[in-house]
Structure 1
Amino acid sequence: MTTLSLGPSPARRDALARRIRLLVAATIAYNVIEAVVALTAGTLASSSALIGFGLDSVIEVSSAAAVAWQFSAREHAVREARERTALRIIAVSFLALAAYVAVDAVRALTGTGEAEPSPLGIVIAALSLAIMPFLSAAQRRAGREIGSASAVADSKQTLLCTYLSAVLLVGLILNAAFGWSWADPVAALAIAGIAVKEGREAWRGKGCCAPTAGSQACAKSPVR
Protein backbone atom coordinates (compact mmCIF):
# COMPACT_ATOMS: atom_id res chain seq x y z
CA MET A 1 0.00 0.00 0.00
CA THR A 2 1.38 3.40 -0.99
CA THR A 3 1.65 5.99 1.76
CA LEU A 4 0.69 9.54 0.82
CA SER A 5 3.31 12.06 1.93
CA LEU A 6 1.77 15.10 3.59
CA GLY A 7 4.97 17.11 3.65
CA PRO A 8 8.40 17.13 5.23
CA SER A 9 8.92 15.58 8.64
CA PRO A 10 9.15 17.87 11.69
CA ALA A 11 12.93 17.43 11.75
CA ARG A 12 13.18 18.31 8.07
CA ARG A 13 10.92 21.35 8.56
CA ASP A 14 13.18 22.58 11.35
CA ALA A 15 16.26 22.14 9.15
CA LEU A 16 14.59 24.03 6.30
CA ALA A 17 13.52 26.80 8.67
CA ARG A 18 17.12 27.18 9.87
CA ARG A 19 18.32 27.29 6.26
CA ILE A 20 15.79 29.99 5.41
CA ARG A 21 16.86 32.04 8.43
CA LEU A 22 20.50 31.86 7.31
CA LEU A 23 19.65 32.79 3.72
CA VAL A 24 17.49 35.68 4.88
CA ALA A 25 20.31 36.93 7.12
CA ALA A 26 22.73 36.81 4.18
CA THR A 27 20.23 38.63 1.98
CA ILE A 28 19.74 41.37 4.57
CA ALA A 29 23.49 41.85 5.06
CA TYR A 30 24.21 42.10 1.35
CA ASN A 31 21.29 44.40 0.65
CA VAL A 32 22.29 46.85 3.36
CA ILE A 33 25.66 47.22 1.63
CA GLU A 34 24.02 47.35 -1.79
CA ALA A 35 21.58 50.04 -0.66
CA VAL A 36 24.29 52.30 0.73
CA VAL A 37 26.42 52.01 -2.42
CA ALA A 38 23.54 52.36 -4.89
CA LEU A 39 21.88 55.30 -3.14
CA THR A 40 25.21 57.10 -2.81
CA ALA A 41 26.12 56.48 -6.45
CA GLY A 42 22.60 57.37 -7.60
CA THR A 43 22.59 60.65 -5.71
CA LEU A 44 26.00 61.64 -7.06
CA ALA A 45 24.99 60.78 -10.64
CA SER A 46 21.35 62.00 -10.38
CA SER A 47 20.36 58.52 -11.56
CA SER A 48 16.72 57.59 -10.97
CA ALA A 49 17.45 53.97 -11.90
CA LEU A 50 20.30 53.72 -9.39
CA ILE A 51 18.24 55.38 -6.67
CA GLY A 52 15.38 53.02 -7.47
CA PHE A 53 17.78 50.11 -7.27
CA GLY A 54 19.02 51.31 -3.90
CA LEU A 55 15.47 51.72 -2.63
CA ASP A 56 14.70 48.22 -3.84
CA SER A 57 17.55 47.05 -1.63
CA VAL A 58 15.99 48.86 1.34
CA ILE A 59 12.61 47.33 0.54
CA GLU A 60 14.19 43.93 0.10
CA VAL A 61 15.62 44.26 3.59
CA SER A 62 12.11 44.91 4.94
CA SER A 63 10.79 41.95 2.97
CA ALA A 64 13.53 39.67 4.25
CA ALA A 65 12.99 40.99 7.77
CA ALA A 66 9.33 39.98 7.55
CA VAL A 67 10.36 36.44 6.64
CA ALA A 68 13.00 36.45 9.38
CA TRP A 69 10.27 37.43 11.86
CA GLN A 70 8.03 34.65 10.58
CA PHE A 71 10.74 32.01 10.83
CA SER A 72 12.03 33.23 14.19
CA ALA A 73 9.21 31.17 15.70
CA ARG A 74 10.26 27.67 16.66
CA GLU A 75 6.82 26.14 16.28
CA HIS A 76 5.66 25.34 12.76
CA ALA A 77 2.08 26.36 13.59
CA VAL A 78 3.22 29.84 14.65
CA ARG A 79 5.23 30.24 11.45
CA GLU A 80 2.16 29.32 9.41
CA ALA A 81 0.04 31.81 11.37
CA ARG A 82 2.49 34.59 10.51
CA GLU A 83 2.56 33.69 6.82
CA ARG A 84 -0.19 36.00 5.61
CA THR A 85 1.17 39.04 7.45
CA ALA A 86 4.62 38.44 5.97
CA LEU A 87 3.13 38.16 2.48
CA ARG A 88 1.26 41.44 2.91
CA ILE A 89 4.44 43.22 4.00
CA ILE A 90 6.29 41.86 0.97
CA ALA A 91 3.49 42.89 -1.40
CA VAL A 92 3.31 46.44 -0.03
CA SER A 93 7.10 46.66 -0.32
CA PHE A 94 6.95 45.81 -4.02
CA LEU A 95 4.20 48.33 -4.73
CA ALA A 96 5.88 51.12 -2.76
CA LEU A 97 9.04 50.59 -4.78
CA ALA A 98 7.10 50.69 -8.06
CA ALA A 99 5.36 53.95 -7.15
CA TYR A 100 8.54 55.79 -6.20
CA VAL A 101 10.59 54.57 -9.14
CA ALA A 102 7.86 55.38 -11.67
CA VAL A 103 7.42 58.94 -10.40
CA ASP A 104 11.16 59.58 -10.35
CA ALA A 105 11.63 58.10 -13.83
CA VAL A 106 8.86 60.26 -15.29
CA ARG A 107 10.47 63.29 -13.66
CA ALA A 108 13.76 62.42 -15.35
CA LEU A 109 12.13 61.82 -18.75
CA THR A 110 10.36 65.17 -18.64
CA GLY A 111 13.70 66.92 -18.37
CA THR A 112 13.82 67.86 -14.69
CA GLY A 113 16.89 65.73 -14.17
CA GLU A 114 19.55 64.02 -16.27
CA ALA A 115 21.69 61.12 -15.11
CA GLU A 116 25.47 61.27 -15.24
CA PRO A 117 27.60 58.18 -15.99
CA SER A 118 28.27 56.12 -12.86
CA PRO A 119 31.17 53.62 -12.84
CA LEU A 120 30.37 52.77 -9.21
CA GLY A 121 26.79 52.02 -10.21
CA ILE A 122 28.00 49.69 -12.96
CA VAL A 123 30.16 47.80 -10.45
CA ILE A 124 27.38 47.29 -7.88
CA ALA A 125 24.89 46.27 -10.59
CA ALA A 126 27.32 43.69 -11.99
CA LEU A 127 28.11 42.35 -8.53
CA SER A 128 24.44 41.96 -7.68
CA LEU A 129 23.82 40.25 -11.00
CA ALA A 130 26.40 37.65 -9.99
CA ILE A 131 25.27 37.12 -6.36
CA MET A 132 21.49 37.44 -6.23
CA PRO A 133 20.50 34.43 -8.40
CA PHE A 134 22.20 32.01 -6.00
CA LEU A 135 20.54 33.44 -2.89
CA SER A 136 17.17 33.48 -4.63
CA ALA A 137 17.37 29.91 -5.92
CA ALA A 138 18.45 28.49 -2.56
CA GLN A 139 15.65 30.23 -0.66
CA ARG A 140 13.06 29.35 -3.29
CA ARG A 141 13.94 25.65 -3.05
CA ALA A 142 13.73 25.68 0.74
CA GLY A 143 10.50 27.71 0.71
CA ARG A 144 8.81 25.37 -1.74
CA GLU A 145 9.82 22.29 0.18
CA ILE A 146 8.59 23.64 3.50
CA GLY A 147 5.45 25.05 1.85
CA SER A 148 5.98 28.72 2.72
CA ALA A 149 4.48 31.23 0.30
CA SER A 150 6.22 34.10 2.08
CA ALA A 151 9.67 32.52 1.77
CA VAL A 152 9.04 31.91 -1.93
CA ALA A 153 7.72 35.45 -2.40
CA ASP A 154 10.80 36.84 -0.69
CA SER A 155 12.99 34.72 -2.96
CA LYS A 156 11.16 36.31 -5.89
CA GLN A 157 11.96 39.70 -4.41
CA THR A 158 15.61 38.62 -4.44
CA LEU A 159 15.21 37.34 -8.00
CA LEU A 160 13.73 40.71 -8.92
CA CYS A 161 17.01 42.20 -7.75
CA THR A 162 18.70 40.09 -10.43
CA TYR A 163 16.37 41.46 -13.11
CA LEU A 164 16.87 44.96 -11.79
CA SER A 165 20.62 44.48 -11.85
CA ALA A 166 20.54 43.41 -15.50
CA VAL A 167 18.22 46.24 -16.56
CA LEU A 168 20.19 48.76 -14.54
CA LEU A 169 23.51 47.55 -15.91
CA VAL A 170 22.32 47.93 -19.51
CA GLY A 171 20.97 51.42 -18.82
CA LEU A 172 24.13 52.57 -17.05
CA ILE A 173 26.42 51.18 -19.76
CA LEU A 174 24.39 52.84 -22.53
CA ASN A 175 24.53 56.13 -20.67
CA ALA A 176 28.27 55.82 -20.02
CA ALA A 177 29.17 54.65 -23.53
CA PHE A 178 26.84 56.74 -25.70
CA GLY A 179 25.53 59.46 -23.42
CA TRP A 180 22.00 58.07 -23.67
CA SER A 181 20.69 59.56 -20.45
CA TRP A 182 17.14 58.56 -21.39
CA ALA A 183 18.17 54.91 -21.01
CA ASP A 184 18.37 55.39 -17.25
CA PRO A 185 14.73 56.39 -16.60
CA VAL A 186 13.51 53.88 -19.18
CA ALA A 187 15.36 51.19 -17.24
CA ALA A 188 13.75 52.52 -14.06
CA LEU A 189 10.26 52.20 -15.58
CA ALA A 190 11.01 48.59 -16.50
CA ILE A 191 11.99 48.03 -12.87
CA ALA A 192 8.69 49.56 -11.71
CA GLY A 193 6.68 47.31 -14.03
CA ILE A 194 8.32 44.17 -12.71
CA ALA A 195 7.78 45.32 -9.13
CA VAL A 196 4.03 45.85 -9.69
CA LYS A 197 3.64 42.35 -11.12
CA GLU A 198 5.47 40.73 -8.23
CA GLY A 199 3.62 42.83 -5.67
CA ARG A 200 0.23 41.74 -6.99
CA GLU A 201 1.28 38.09 -6.94
CA ALA A 202 2.60 38.35 -3.39
CA TRP A 203 -0.63 40.02 -2.22
CA ARG A 204 -2.67 37.19 -3.74
CA GLY A 205 -0.33 34.55 -2.35
CA LYS A 206 0.51 33.23 -5.80
CA GLY A 207 3.59 31.39 -6.94
CA CYS A 208 4.21 29.40 -3.79
CA CYS A 209 5.10 25.83 -4.39
CA ALA A 210 5.08 22.89 -6.68
CA PRO A 211 2.34 20.40 -5.77
CA THR A 212 4.64 18.28 -3.63
CA ALA A 213 5.53 18.32 0.02
CA GLY A 214 4.30 21.80 0.78
CA SER A 215 1.05 21.68 -1.11
CA GLN A 216 -1.10 21.82 2.01
CA ALA A 217 0.59 24.92 3.33
CA CYS A 218 0.38 26.58 -0.06
CA ALA A 219 -3.29 25.88 -0.27
CA LYS A 220 -3.77 28.08 2.77
CA SER A 221 -2.41 31.12 0.96
CA PRO A 222 -5.17 33.52 -0.13
CA VAL A 223 -5.71 33.55 -3.89
CA ARG A 224 -8.32 35.98 -5.07
Structure 2
Amino acid sequence: MSDVNEISRRSVLRRGFVLEYVTLGWNAVGIVVLAVAAVAARSVALAGFGLDSLIEIGASMVVIWELSGTGEDRQRRALRMIGAGFALLAVYLLVQSTWALAGGFRPHHSPLGIMWTAVTAVVMFVLALGKARTGAALDNPVLRTEGRVTLIDGLLAAAVLLGLVLNTVAGLWWADPAAGYVLVYYAVREVKKIFFGDH
Protein backbone atom coordinates (compact mmCIF):
# COMPACT_ATOMS: atom_id res chain seq x y z
CA MET A 1 0.00 0.00 0.00
CA SER A 2 2.84 2.38 0.85
CA ASP A 3 4.42 1.72 -2.57
CA VAL A 4 1.12 2.61 -4.24
CA ASN A 5 0.88 5.80 -2.18
CA GLU A 6 4.46 6.73 -3.09
CA ILE A 7 3.81 6.16 -6.80
CA SER A 8 0.64 8.26 -6.55
CA ARG A 9 2.53 11.04 -4.77
CA ARG A 10 5.26 11.07 -7.41
CA SER A 11 2.58 11.32 -10.11
CA VAL A 12 0.94 14.28 -8.35
CA LEU A 13 4.35 15.89 -7.83
CA ARG A 14 5.09 15.59 -11.57
CA ARG A 15 1.76 17.29 -12.24
CA GLY A 16 2.85 20.14 -9.97
CA PHE A 17 6.06 20.57 -11.95
CA VAL A 18 4.14 20.50 -15.26
CA LEU A 19 1.74 23.20 -14.02
CA GLU A 20 4.65 25.43 -13.02
CA TYR A 21 6.56 24.93 -16.27
CA VAL A 22 3.44 25.71 -18.31
CA THR A 23 2.99 28.89 -16.23
CA LEU A 24 6.63 29.83 -16.83
CA GLY A 25 6.39 29.26 -20.57
CA TRP A 26 3.12 31.12 -20.94
CA ASN A 27 4.36 34.17 -19.07
CA ALA A 28 7.69 34.20 -20.93
CA VAL A 29 5.82 34.37 -24.23
CA GLY A 30 3.39 36.87 -22.69
CA ILE A 31 6.14 39.35 -21.85
CA VAL A 32 7.05 39.56 -25.55
CA VAL A 33 3.43 39.76 -26.77
CA LEU A 34 2.52 42.39 -24.16
CA ALA A 35 5.58 44.49 -24.96
CA VAL A 36 4.57 44.60 -28.64
CA ALA A 37 0.93 45.35 -27.80
CA ALA A 38 1.85 48.00 -25.20
CA VAL A 39 4.12 49.90 -27.58
CA ALA A 40 1.58 49.73 -30.42
CA ALA A 41 -1.30 50.95 -28.22
CA ARG A 42 0.77 53.20 -25.92
CA SER A 43 -0.96 51.38 -23.08
CA VAL A 44 0.31 51.75 -19.52
CA ALA A 45 -1.95 48.88 -18.44
CA LEU A 46 -0.53 46.43 -20.96
CA ALA A 47 3.02 47.43 -20.07
CA GLY A 48 2.20 46.97 -16.40
CA PHE A 49 0.63 43.58 -17.03
CA GLY A 50 3.90 42.56 -18.69
CA LEU A 51 5.70 43.44 -15.46
CA ASP A 52 3.16 41.38 -13.54
CA SER A 53 4.16 38.42 -15.71
CA LEU A 54 7.69 38.78 -14.36
CA ILE A 55 6.35 38.42 -10.81
CA GLU A 56 4.45 35.29 -11.83
CA ILE A 57 7.62 33.86 -13.41
CA GLY A 58 9.49 34.53 -10.17
CA ALA A 59 6.78 32.83 -8.11
CA SER A 60 6.82 29.77 -10.38
CA MET A 61 10.59 29.50 -10.06
CA VAL A 62 10.26 29.60 -6.27
CA VAL A 63 7.76 26.72 -6.33
CA ILE A 64 9.92 24.64 -8.68
CA TRP A 65 12.82 25.19 -6.26
CA GLU A 66 10.66 24.21 -3.28
CA LEU A 67 9.19 21.11 -4.94
CA SER A 68 12.73 19.92 -5.69
CA GLY A 69 13.51 19.68 -1.97
CA THR A 70 11.90 18.90 1.34
CA GLY A 71 11.66 20.29 4.84
CA GLU A 72 9.63 22.89 6.69
CA ASP A 73 12.47 25.44 6.62
CA ARG A 74 12.56 25.27 2.83
CA GLN A 75 8.77 25.69 2.71
CA ARG A 76 8.89 28.71 5.04
CA ARG A 77 11.54 30.42 2.91
CA ALA A 78 9.58 29.66 -0.26
CA LEU A 79 6.39 31.09 1.26
CA ARG A 80 8.22 34.26 2.31
CA MET A 81 9.53 34.71 -1.24
CA ILE A 82 6.03 34.30 -2.66
CA GLY A 83 4.75 36.77 -0.04
CA ALA A 84 7.37 39.24 -1.23
CA GLY A 85 6.09 38.71 -4.77
CA PHE A 86 2.56 39.53 -3.63
CA ALA A 87 3.85 42.68 -1.92
CA LEU A 88 5.61 43.77 -5.12
CA LEU A 89 2.43 43.05 -7.07
CA ALA A 90 0.37 45.22 -4.69
CA VAL A 91 2.84 48.10 -4.96
CA TYR A 92 2.99 47.77 -8.74
CA LEU A 93 -0.81 47.79 -9.06
CA LEU A 94 -1.19 50.77 -6.73
CA VAL A 95 1.48 52.84 -8.49
CA GLN A 96 0.40 51.88 -12.00
CA SER A 97 -3.30 52.53 -11.40
CA THR A 98 -2.66 55.87 -9.68
CA TRP A 99 -0.22 56.95 -12.40
CA ALA A 100 -2.63 56.02 -15.20
CA LEU A 101 -5.57 57.81 -13.55
CA ALA A 102 -3.65 60.92 -12.54
CA GLY A 103 -1.94 61.21 -15.92
CA GLY A 104 -5.12 60.59 -17.88
CA PHE A 105 -3.35 58.13 -20.16
CA ARG A 106 -5.64 57.26 -23.05
CA PRO A 107 -4.39 54.15 -24.83
CA HIS A 108 -5.19 53.39 -28.45
CA HIS A 109 -7.36 50.40 -29.28
CA SER A 110 -5.47 47.11 -29.01
CA PRO A 111 -6.95 44.03 -30.72
CA LEU A 112 -3.77 42.10 -29.87
CA GLY A 113 -4.00 43.15 -26.22
CA ILE A 114 -7.68 42.15 -26.04
CA MET A 115 -7.00 38.74 -27.59
CA TRP A 116 -3.97 37.97 -25.39
CA THR A 117 -5.52 39.09 -22.09
CA ALA A 118 -8.73 37.16 -22.84
CA VAL A 119 -6.87 33.91 -23.49
CA THR A 120 -4.47 34.55 -20.59
CA ALA A 121 -7.34 35.01 -18.14
CA VAL A 122 -8.77 31.59 -19.07
CA VAL A 123 -5.36 29.88 -18.98
CA MET A 124 -4.46 31.39 -15.59
CA PHE A 125 -7.81 30.39 -14.04
CA VAL A 126 -7.35 26.79 -15.26
CA LEU A 127 -3.75 26.69 -13.98
CA ALA A 128 -4.79 28.20 -10.64
CA LEU A 129 -7.43 25.49 -10.18
CA GLY A 130 -4.90 22.80 -11.06
CA LYS A 131 -2.37 24.20 -8.58
CA ALA A 132 -4.97 24.41 -5.82
CA ARG A 133 -5.96 20.77 -6.31
CA THR A 134 -2.38 19.56 -6.68
CA GLY A 135 -1.23 21.56 -3.66
CA ALA A 136 -4.05 20.08 -1.61
CA ALA A 137 -3.20 16.55 -2.76
CA LEU A 138 0.45 17.07 -1.81
CA ASP A 139 -0.47 19.01 1.34
CA ASN A 140 1.95 21.64 0.04
CA PRO A 141 1.22 25.20 1.26
CA VAL A 142 3.77 26.70 -1.14
CA LEU A 143 2.04 25.33 -4.24
CA ARG A 144 -1.38 26.33 -2.89
CA THR A 145 -0.14 29.86 -2.19
CA GLU A 146 1.45 30.21 -5.61
CA GLY A 147 -1.83 29.03 -7.08
CA ARG A 148 -3.36 32.17 -5.57
CA VAL A 149 -0.66 34.21 -7.33
CA THR A 150 -1.82 32.61 -10.57
CA LEU A 151 -5.46 33.32 -9.70
CA ILE A 152 -4.65 36.99 -9.13
CA ASP A 153 -2.76 37.01 -12.42
CA GLY A 154 -5.95 35.75 -14.08
CA LEU A 155 -8.04 38.38 -12.31
CA LEU A 156 -5.60 41.07 -13.41
CA ALA A 157 -5.80 39.80 -17.00
CA ALA A 158 -9.59 40.02 -16.79
CA ALA A 159 -9.37 43.56 -15.37
CA VAL A 160 -6.99 44.68 -18.12
CA LEU A 161 -9.26 43.02 -20.69
CA LEU A 162 -12.30 44.82 -19.30
CA GLY A 163 -10.47 48.14 -19.44
CA LEU A 164 -9.33 47.54 -23.02
CA VAL A 165 -12.83 46.55 -24.12
CA LEU A 166 -14.52 49.50 -22.37
CA ASN A 167 -11.94 51.85 -23.90
CA THR A 168 -12.57 50.40 -27.36
CA VAL A 169 -16.37 50.24 -27.13
CA ALA A 170 -17.25 53.23 -24.95
CA GLY A 171 -14.09 55.32 -24.66
CA LEU A 172 -13.90 54.71 -20.88
CA TRP A 173 -10.10 54.93 -20.61
CA TRP A 174 -10.16 55.04 -16.79
CA ALA A 175 -11.88 51.65 -16.32
CA ASP A 176 -8.66 49.63 -16.42
CA PRO A 177 -6.63 51.55 -13.78
CA ALA A 178 -9.74 51.78 -11.57
CA ALA A 179 -10.10 47.97 -11.63
CA GLY A 180 -6.47 47.70 -10.53
CA TYR A 181 -7.36 49.03 -7.10
CA VAL A 182 -9.64 46.06 -6.48
CA LEU A 183 -6.75 43.69 -7.14
CA VAL A 184 -4.53 45.58 -4.69
CA TYR A 185 -6.89 44.37 -1.96
CA TYR A 186 -6.42 40.72 -2.94
CA ALA A 187 -2.65 41.01 -3.11
CA VAL A 188 -2.43 42.75 0.29
CA ARG A 189 -4.71 40.10 1.80
CA GLU A 190 -2.36 37.35 0.64
CA VAL A 191 0.67 39.19 2.06
CA LYS A 192 -1.09 39.42 5.44
CA LYS A 193 -2.07 35.74 5.30
CA ILE A 194 1.50 34.61 4.54
CA PHE A 195 3.35 36.82 7.00
CA PHE A 196 0.79 37.27 9.79
CA GLY A 197 -1.51 34.27 9.53
CA ASP A 198 -5.22 34.23 8.80
CA HIS A 199 -6.13 36.68 11.58
TM-score range, shorter chain: 0.7 to 0.9
Output the CA distance in 1 between the equivalents of 2:42 and 2:53: 18
Cross-structure match for 1:90: 82
Output the CA distance in 1 between the equivalents of 2:131 and 2:5: 19
Identify which of 7, 10, 26 aligns with 1:11: 7
Check conservation: 2:28, 2:53, Cα contact below 8 A.
Answer: yes
SS of residue matched to 1:113: coil
Which structure has more helix as a fraction of its residues? 2
Where in structure 2 are there 5+ consecutive unaligned residues?
none
Cross-structure match for 1:214: none
Q: Per-residue deviation at 1:34?
A: 1.5
Output the CA distance in 2 between the equivalents of 1:83 and 1:17: 15
Identify which of 102, 110, 122 aligns with 1:110: 102
Aligned positions of 1:43-54 closer than 5 A:
43-54=39-50
Output the CA distance in 2 between the equivalents of 1:82 and 1:49: 35
Q: Per-residue deviation at 1:85?
A: 1.0
Q: CA RMSD in A?
A: 2.1
Q: TM-score, normalised by structure 1?
A: 0.79
Q: How many residues align?
A: 196
Check conservation: 2:159, 2:176, Cα contact below 8 A.
Answer: no
Identity across aligned pairs (percent)?
35
Q: TM-score, normalised by structure 2?
A: 0.88
State the one-letter code of the partner of 1:57: S
Alignment partner of 1:161 is 2:147: no
Check conservation: 2:20, 2:63, Cα contact below 8 A.
Answer: yes
Alignment partner of 1:64 is 2:60: yes
State the one-letter code of the partner of 2:16: I
Alignment partner of 1:32 is 2:37: no
Q: Which has the larger radius of gyration?
A: 1
Cross-structure match for 1:203: 195
Alignment partner of 1:134 is 2:130: no
Identify which of 91, 112, 120 aligns with 2:112: 120
